[in-house]
Amino acid sequence: MDIKVLIGIIIVLLIILLLLLFLVVLPARRKKKAQEEAARKKAQAAKKQKKELTIYDVEDFDTLRAKVRRTSLSKEELEETIDLIIKYYSKIPPKLGIRTHPEYDKYLDLMIALARHPQTDKTLILRLDRALHKANPQYKLELNEALRRALNARTPPPIRKKAQTV
């Protein structure tokens, strides 16, 4: 065989191989791109459907505080209520000179009600305390005192009598 013919056959085979490769790879890329586009559209639709709550959609502070005072509230509902308070109402109005703002008493009442709630735990109390400290550094001493009062207001667990050995 002639070498020119052999080189021609190899070139034709390489061209056919490249053509087949493009026929296989390009549809896979298009399919992958279409799947990514569909996933992106689905995520956008879900984002539109799940509307973020605004301050106007949330109950006011007094209503949320009243919810915390209800002892029938489940642990999940209590956590959700505290999360809403932290997100929308964690900022206490500034002090009036050296006196606390009258709104501060509501936060003190909230901390005591949360500490006394039967479904609460230390993580929930500390989460609220830390959020209030972070949002209100000027109330540091007052918030520490409020936490102490709230923890002292908790009902102690019942004392069990030790069994007497005979």
**Domain enclosing residue 34, as ranges:** 1-51
Last-in-domain residue among 29, 51, 73: 51
The answer, as to whether pTM is greater than 0.75, is no
Question: Is there a single domain that holds both residue 37 and residue 101?
Answer: no
Q: What is the mean pLDDT of each run of 10 residues along the chain (166 residues)?
A: 86 91 79 86 74 63 92 91 92 90 92 92 93 94 91 75 66
Provide the token pair at 114.
Answer: 């949360």
Q: Would you state the pLDDT for residue 164? A: 67
Question: Is there a single domain that holds both residue 41 and residue 111?
Answer: no
Q: Would you state the pLDDT for residue 64? A: 92
Q: Would you state the pLDDT for residue 48? A: 67
**136-161 burial code (b ≥16 CB/10 A, e <16):** beebeebbeebbeebeeeeeeeeeee
Q: Would you state the pLDDT for residue 145? A: 92
Question: Domains in the chain: how many in total?
Answer: 2
